[in-house]
Structure formats: structure tokens, C-alpha cells
Structure 1
Amino acid sequence: MRSTSRPDSRIALLLASAALVSSTARAAEPVARHRHAAAAKPPSEENIEVRRAHPSFRFGAAQHQAATVTEYSGADLVRLGVTKATDLQKIAPNVSIMSMNGTQTTVYYIRGIGMSDFTQNAMPSVMTYIDGVPYPVSSMSAGMLFDIATVGVVAGPVGTEHGLADSAGEVNIRTNDPTPDWHGGVSQDIASYARSRTTLYVSGPIAPTLSFRIAGQTEHGGGWQYSPANATHLGNADMGALRAKLRWTPDARTTVQFSAHWLQDDSQTIAVKPVLNSLPSKPYPSLPYQEANWSLKPAFARLIGRPASLYPSEHDTNWGADLNVAHDFSFATLQSISAYETERIAEYTDQDGTKWATGDTYRSIWANSFTQELRLHSRDDSAALQWDLGATYNRIRMNTNFFGDSTDYLPLRGYMLQTHYHQDGQTFAQFAHLSYRLPGRVSLFGGINHEANDQQLLGLNTKHIGINSLSFADEGANANQFSGVLGAQWQATARTMLYFKVSKGFKPGGFTANNTVVQSQLTPYKPETLLSYEAGIKSDVIANRLRLNAAAFYYDYHDQQYLGTYVVPSFGPLGRYTNIPKSEIWGVEFSADIHPFKGFYIHQNLGYQRGKFQDFQSSNTAAVYAHFQQTGIWAPFYTSYNGYDLGQPKLTLNGSADYTLQPPGPLSVETGLDWSYRGAQALTPGGTGVYMLPSYFLLGAHMTVRPTHGHWAATLYATNLLNRQYYTTGGSYTVTEFWLPGPPRFIGGRVSIDY
């Protein structure tokens, strides 16, 4: 399941050129290769496919992979207005990607599997890879969606062919590599609310065996919210990023590539919209959609060491470097990826969306990640036996300070707090994958991953400013588990493939850390596992005219990691991660690519999923508050949610339609629409009313003019063309339930020049 819009812009041609040049280091490509799939095709058919041009339907290799892989080119992302991680949910079925409280902290869900982790101290359920490097802290990959070659979303358990094991899937981003000849370009994008986005790149040779590429991006403005309490706008971007690559090919069998990147993000965040207030003494007004409030008391500003004029905003610095070495032996290719990533996060948010100090938060995170992967994979793609063998090591070091201001939460709290801790973690994974092609175009495949994970939570201390200081014993969490896959695929015809597989997913456990008041809050939650059954078909029904793919899946889900409520006697309810013993998820996915006549292309994804809790007892927050109001005593009340829906959007739709007109003369015109629909999402088990985000539908449009023979393009576009009012995610903090609004209509123009 993937995009197939044709690369008819100059930008797309340059991206394709860079991808072709990088083919000597093919193993570095982050999308899982599923070599057993490629082996299912006989050598004669493979040769034909290499020689033939496929201008309508690209990413033909994915048609022979026994997995749901949604893949787009960098030119596709530009055309669809995908500029940040949360936009990726517009391009794949059964995918939800959400910003936590308007920040750079991003939460991924694939097929209902994900973890809402604001603290960023847990391994994500969906791993992000950039150029083959895993990002175990999602905010480390923020701001990197520029100068992109391809993006791939892989659904289902992973980890038997590269990287680390995970329960939900992975997002694979491959950036453009250096080219042996000179290329360069610049793009200027200006849109509503004074938003400006500039991207540029230059690539070329330094010596016969040495080439380079430098790319950068800046973004400013775009603040579409207004705060009547502060008489100012909110949400302006202030971000700059650079990426540099150096590529050395000392011989025809060896490629050495060094990459480095840097990001500085001082952007304002979007304020949440309060929808329910449980503190009647601090009422808040009902504001129009594009209005929101915030507050920062001078005492809290002094505590966090920031100016009292601070807006809700980021002050983030991310940088990293990696070394990718591949050598082609006569029997196999050996690849080594060494990477170091670091982030310095300083982030202020107002999580009640009011002028009251009941939910002001500030966090600072200093974290680094070191990864080393070694992988050996078979060299002859035409052989019946294909194999991969490797190991990945990851180490994380993290120092976190979390501050909260609840001085207006009276009479219960009325103080400011600080929680500080240090966390160390390391993971060592070994993986192997085999496939064997039998007669009759049938292939059997299997893979295994063994992963050992060790985490330590050290020196946690909570200060209630002016009241007390609480220190807690260190905690540890260990996991040592196997995951894997078994399956078969059948290349029924040259253009139709069917597959079935059973796989086990695994995700390590961890800790709840922020706002700790009793030791029992730090009890580690357990790893989660799931057993996945998936069947699918991929077919180019009519070559270059009609492609139809479909998959169905069933998940037997155990120990789902979930942010629930823990009632602390004499204090009240606090969030704590826990495990849901048993759940189930099932669903279907479809994609269609249609090219009925010259110049006209349609792409459509559809995902439908259902899930329910089968064994789940949880604290009933409404009952807890009701009991406290009657008695003044905090006491837990539990409700069985067996049979309740998991709450993830049941239906997702996204697609696009494009038409290119080639009138007489030197110019061509492309016009198109893109759309996405996401169903309602429950924020709590069985949630309704304010605990249920409404469904929404978004429509975009674009029109591009470019010369038939030239190096420039001019585009007019609109996002959220219908100016819908919608909400992307929600949550709660102290006395407030809130929703996070999505951007209104943006109308913009973009001019690009490439050579």
C-alpha cells in the first residue's frame, strides 16, 4: 500500500537521480527490505522489471514484500504539504500521529498500537529511523523532514531484519544522498499568518571518489492563535536546521558515508483548549476556535530560570552524526551504522489553556543516544536462499527536570513543584532472517529477534516548593524476550502476490516519573507483546493503469502499556503507566492507484480497525472525584472495562487526485486535490462527550506551473481548504480536560528553482 504519483517535476527528477546514485549502498535504505519477497520473482521477470520504465506506478519492489508498506517520495511530500511528523498520518491507513500538547513530542499509533508518552522516557511503540539510524526518543527526530528521498511506514511487528524490535511498526525516512555531478536548488514558501519556509540544497563532487551534499531549512511565523488575556498571537515558528553528508567510494565494492545534522527550534507552541473544568472557583471563558489563553506567574518564571515574558514555546537544540560503511563481499554485504544523537529540550506549556496557574508546566531534558548496528546480508538476489544476520546496540542517557505550577489549584495543591531524575538505558538485540524460494513461485520465510533491555531510574526527587522535599529509592526494569515472524507468499502471476504471516511483537517496559509523591508510583510497568496474524494481496491488475492492494490483520495483545490513573491517599489521582492484561485488535487496509488516462492519477488509502479490552480493571476518575467532594477523602474506585472499545479512530481515509495539462506552448500545469478523514477517538475507555474527539475531514488543493524545459516551478496551494474546526488530540492535567485544535485554512505560494 503506497503512493504512486508520477515524478513529473524537476524536483522529483533530482530526487530520483540522487536515489539512483545511492544504489551502491542499497543496504542503508531504511525501509525493511524483506528480501524473501524479492526472491519470490524468477530471474527472468526481475530482468524485465529492471529494464522497463514505470512512470505511473513507482516503488514496484514493495509489491513483492509480504508486509503493509506505505511509501512516498520527497516530491510527493512537498506536493501534499507534509512538512512535519504529524502530517505523515495523512499518507497511510490506520495511522495516527499526534503532538503532545502542541509540542515537538510526537506520539505514533499504527493499527491502534502506540503509547502516549509526554515524558519521553519510554521506548516508543513505533520506532522512527532516519537513514537507518533508530531514534528511541521521538523528539530527537523533530524538524528533519526536509531534502527527503523517501518515507516509508511499515505496519506490524518489526525487528528481524534490522534495528530494534517493536510492537506497532516503524517510520523509515531516507534523506537525499550526495551526487557525483552538480545539483542545487532553493525553494521559498510564503503562506497565511506571515508564515515563511525556506529550503535549499547543494550537491556535487569534491574529487573522483568523494562527493558531498548540504541541505537546510528555516521556518518562521504562522502563529494563528490569539490570546485575549495576553493580547498577542501564539504559535509562530522560529526554526532552523542543517544536514551535511560526505560520501566516499574508494572502490566499486565499498561505500563510506558520514552525515551530521543540527536543529535549533525556538518556536511557540499551540495552546490547548479547555473543555471541562473541575475547579469551579477558577472559571474560564468559552473562547472562539482560534483563541486560547495562557499564564506565567513571575515566581514560576524565576523557578525555571526563564523571563516572565516567556510564551508557551520550545527552546530545543538537537544534533547528531552517523557513519555508514558498506562493503560488498563475494558472498554477502557487510554494513555498519554508528550513530550519536543528542537533544537539549527546554519547553514551557500551559496545559489548562487558561489564565489560571493550575496547569503550567516546564520541562528540561538533556539526553543522548548511541547506536551501533552490524548487519550481514546475502548478496545474490536471484538465489533461492536469502538471509540477513545482525545485531544492534543502543544506549540512552537522560537527565530530566519537570516543573509544575498549581498555585491557583486551591485548597488542594496551591504550590509549585519540581521533579528531577536521571535515567540510563541500554538495549542489545540480535536478529536473523531467512527465506527460501520453492517451485511454483512460493517462498517460505522466517525471522527471529532476541532483545535484552535494561533501564535504571536514578536519584528521583520531588520538591513541593516551600513545603517539602521527597527522595525516592532507585528503580530498575529488565526485559529479555524473543520476537519473530513466520510466513509464506505466493507470486500467483507476474503482477499478483498473496501472503500470510504470523509475527510476535515486543516493546520493553519502563517507569512513570513526573510528579512523584509516593514510591509505589515508580513501580515499573511490564513489557508489552502481541501476536499478529496478517494476510494480504498485492496486484497490478492492469499494468500502469490499476493497482489494488489489501490486507487484513488480527492482534492478540498482551500487557498493553497504558497511561491510567493512580489514586494517592491524602493527595488525589495522578497519572501512572500500567499494563492492560489482554486486548484484541482487528482490521483491514486497502489502497488503490488509478491512472485511467494520460495526465490523470488517483491514489486512495482506506483503513478500518476495531479493538476492545478483554481483561481491564481501571480507576474510575469521575467516581473518585465525586467521592472526594462528598467525603473529603481520596479513595480509589475501580471499573471493569472488559468489552469496551480501545478508542482509536475506526476509519481513516486519505488520498489525492492530480491532473497535468500540457497545452501548446512552453508551460505545463498540474492541479490536484488531497483529502484525509480520521474517525472519532475516545480519550478514556468508553469515553463520550468531552472524552471523545470528534471525527474530521480535511481537504487540500494545489496548482503548479512549470516550463516544459526549464528549472523552476511556481505553486499555489491551500491546506484545510474548507476551514474546518477540528481537534487532533486531547488529554488532562490537574483540573482540566483539554483538546488540541488543528490549524485553520492556510493559503500559500511556493517558488522553487533547481538545476
Structure 2
Amino acid sequence: MVAVTSLSKNKVDYTGSFFPNGYFNELNADYEAAGLAGYQNRVNNPYSSTFKQASQEIRYVSVPDAPIKWLAGAYGEYSDSQRAYTATSTFDPAMGIGDGVTQTSRGQTKTTSFAVFSDASFAATDKLEIFGGLRIGHDKKKFNYDFSVDNPAWTALGMDAGFVTAQRETLSTTYAVPRIGVRYQLTDDTQTYASVSRGFKSGGFNIGFVQKGDERPYKNESLVSYQIGLKSELIKNVLSLDTALFYIDRKNQQVQTYNALTQTTPVANAPKSRSLGGEVTLKAQLDEHCSGYAGLGYTDATYVKFENAPATGTTGVVDASGKQQQFVSRYTGKLGAAYAWDIGAYNLKGRGDLGYQYRSSFYFDQSNTQKQGGYGLVSARLSVGNNEYEGYVWGENLSNERYRTSAADFGYGRLVTVGNPRTFGVGVSKTF
């Protein structure tokens, strides 16, 4: 039996405005033209969140030489996530409605999850193996949301009419996630396989200045994945080749969108989407010291049906059917080499790794208007250790590539998050 217990807690507090100076100049001018003198939108935009989680998993595993190899277990989790978003805007006190307004939204989601699972494989013949598994789970989410304003005169003008003021809801869903497949040993050095599996992600609630219409829970996401592949040793213990082809059919894919009115990122559902592609990886172990790998991947991921997708940079909806799924590159590549050696004292071994990862262009939004060009990152790691201790130094993005990890447009220009520049670090570890 194996038991895994996990406890975690995370807290974030931010004060200030994460919008750049001048970002809302156009909006400020519109409010002034409408009679709200001296209006400055979101001069302060504090954010705070806490997340607490406790989980327990218990697994039972069959003996290694059992005719049917199996694994069975149970999993339970409880989490409490709380978030508060605040926006303070100011204006001319001569108008007689004060000198500003602070709007605050608070949301809390309590999640309880239980699941039982099993996985097994059976050698039907000397060459044919059948495998499969099943996970049955239940998720329950309780959601509490409140929106408050500290300036009654502002509210009396109808400025908050578009926001949800309170929401109390519970989501409860039971799901089953099966998988089944076969492996066949074509030769002593070549194995092929095929599998079909189902995936599931429970729905949830949008938090943070929820606009009327966005208060509806986003739906559960489900998928069916088909995969075939081949694993082969081209030169025994020296050169191997792994290939795979896949097709994924998704329903109600959960998609991050951008709301220009509330400057938030609510989740919406794309009713139907699909992904297909493949990958190939070549690995080499030239001798006891030198090894390397190279790989290529291709993915064609599109929204098949997404007719009422929230528009990016404006209000309203667009037809995103046929658009490329956000954050997915069509082409990926990897290349790396390693050198290992014996140091000759205290059973110490040294190892140096150098790697390169590439991804082609992709989009940050479902409308395919916010694009990141292709880029590659170089990394390295040098370590010295034995079976008990290890010390290492590492470097990421050694070529100091400039790239973005996110981009959004709330109607007043593009906001981006820049990826980490050239970064170095050191670490130590101990195995118990």
C-alpha cells in the first residue's frame, strides 16, 4: 500500500495598479465628455487571494509477477479558494458625488472531490498485452460572490447596473473516465500500441467584477482521445525511435476570454473543438558518457464550433469557429545532449546537460488577434552527486530570447507579460 498526503497554502497580496500609466486615457476622456470631470479610471487596483488545499490518496499495487498487473486506489481532496479584486477610480469633488469610488468583488469557491480508480494490464499472448483503467469521481463546488461599492451617489447614477451584486450557487457532478488499449510486440525491438481514453474537467464560476451574463457557471469539459504509436530500438541499447499520432475530440472546452467592459478574463465554453497531430523522438546513447535526443511535433488544434465567442478588445461576440486554439503552436521541436562521468570519490558522478526547445507562433486569444511569434529557448544544467546528495547549477533562456507569455486587449491597447530573461540558479537535494 502507498499513501500520499498533501497539504498546501498560498497567499498573494498586491497593491497598486497593474495597468500601465495612460492605458485608460481614452476611457477617461469619454467619461469627461459625458460630464464626469477629472475622471481617472482604476488609479488603484489591489488584488488578494488565498488558497488552501488538503488531499489524501491511497494506492494498492499487485505483486510484480502477478498474471494480471493491477493498481487500485482512492483519492479525496478539499480546497478553499478566496479572491478579492478592488478598483478605485477618482474624479473632481466639485461635482458633488465625492472624490472617488472603490468597487470590490469577493469570491469564494469551496471544492470537495472524491474518486476511486483502477488500472490493469493482462498479457493475452507472448506478444499481445491488453490494458485499461477506470476512474469514477464526484466534484462538488460551493460558490459565494459579493460586489460592493463605497459611494452610494455613484451607484444611484446607475454606474454599477451592469455588474452582478451577489451570487450563491452549488455545482455537483459525477463522472467516469475510462481508458482501454493494446500493446503488440512486432519484433524483439519494436512495439506498437493503440489506446482510447476519456478526459474530464469540472466546470466552475467566474470571479472578479462579474458582468451580468457572465455569472452563469461555465460547463464541464470532456474529451475523447485516440492515440497510436510505435516504439523501436533501431540499434539495441544505442538508438531508439518513438512515434505517436493522436486525435482529440473536445466538448465544451474551457477557454479564457477577455471582457473589455470589466477588464477581466472570464472563462467561456467552446461547444466543439478538436486537435490532431503527431510527434517523433529519436534518442541516442553513444557510450557510457554521451547521450542525446531530438524531437519534432505537429498539432492542428482548432475550434470547430465557437459561434458566440466573446470578442477581444471590444464588447459583443464573434464567430471563432475554425480559429486556432489559444496557446497551441503548430510546430514544436527539441534537441539536447548530455555528458556524464565518474568523479572517482565518494561515488560521485558528474553530468552536464544542454538543451534547446522551439515552438512556432501561437495566439493568446480565441479570436486569433493577439499573436506570439515562434521562438526557441536554450537551457543548461551541471550537477555533481551520488545516490544520496546532489548539487547543481542551472541556466534558462541562455540566449536571452525576448518573448511573451500572455497578451490581452481590453479595448485600450495591448497588455503583455514578458517571459523570463536569461536566468541562473543553484540548488541542492537529498534523497531519503
Following superposition, the deviation at residue 397 of structure 1 comes to 2.1
Aligned to 2:210: 516
TM-score, normalized by length of structure 1? 0.47
CA contact (8 A) 1:351 1:359 kept: no
Aligned to 2:310: 619
Aligned CA RMSD, in angstroms, stands at 3.5
Following superposition, the deviation at residue 394 of structure 1 comes to 1.4
1:584 aligns with 2:251: no
1:344-359 aligned at under 5 Å gives the runs 344-348=11-15, 350-354=17-21, 358=42
1:343 aligns with 2:10: yes
1:117-516 aligned at under 5 Å gives the runs 334-348=1-15, 350-354=17-21, 358=42, 361-379=45-63, 381-407=64-90, 415-458=101-144, 460-466=145-151, 467-468=154-155, 471-516=165-210
Which of 235, 240, 255 matches 1:547? 240
Aligned to 2:356: 675
Distance 1:719 1:529, change over 3 A: closer
Distance 1:735 1:393, change over 3 A: same
Aligned to 1:727: 404
Which of 334, 337, 347 matches 1:654? 334
Following superposition, the deviation at residue 489 of structure 1 comes to 0.8
Distance 1:489 1:407, change over 3 A: farther
Give the whole-Å Cα distance in 2 for the aligned partners of 1:646 and 1:359.
34
Matched residue pairs, number?
390
Larger relative helix fraction: 1
Distance 1:750 1:483, change over 3 A: closer
Q: Which moved more, 1:591-600 or 1:416-425?
A: 591-600
Following superposition, the deviation at residue 363 of structure 1 comes to 2.4
Q: Which runs of 5+ in 2 are unaligned?
A: 24-40, 92-99
Which of 365, 368, 378 matches 1:684? 365
1:699 aligns with 2:378: yes
Which amino acid is the alignment partner of residue 584 of structure 1?
A: R
Query: Share of identical aligned residues, percent?
Result: 22
CA contact (8 A) 2:338 2:352 kept: yes
CA contact (8 A) 2:256 2:365 kept: no
Aligned to 2:30: none
TM-score, normalized by length of structure 2? 0.78
Aligned to 1:178: none
Give the whole-Å Cα distance in 2 for the aligned partners of 1:402 and 1:609.
37
Aligned to 2:414: 737
Distance 1:344 1:575, change over 3 A: closer
TM-superposition CA deviations, 1:607-648 (whole Å, max 9, x none): 221111111122334564xxxxxxxxxxx3x32222222141
CA contact (8 A) 2:257 2:366 kept: no
Which amino acid is the alignment partner of residue 550 of structure 1?
A: T
CA contact (8 A) 1:694 1:727 kept: no
Give the whole-Å Cα distance in 1 for the aligned partners of 2:392 and 2:109.
49
2:214 is paired with a residue of what secondary structure? helix
CA contact (8 A) 1:352 1:736 kept: no
CA contact (8 A) 1:358 1:734 kept: no
CA contact (8 A) 1:350 1:359 kept: yes
Give the whole-Å Cα distance in 2 for the aligned partners of 1:712 and 1:344.
31
Give the whole-Å Cα distance in 1 for the aligned partners of 2:252 and 2:390.
54
**RCO higher in 1 or 2 (8 Å CA, sep ≥ 6)?**
1
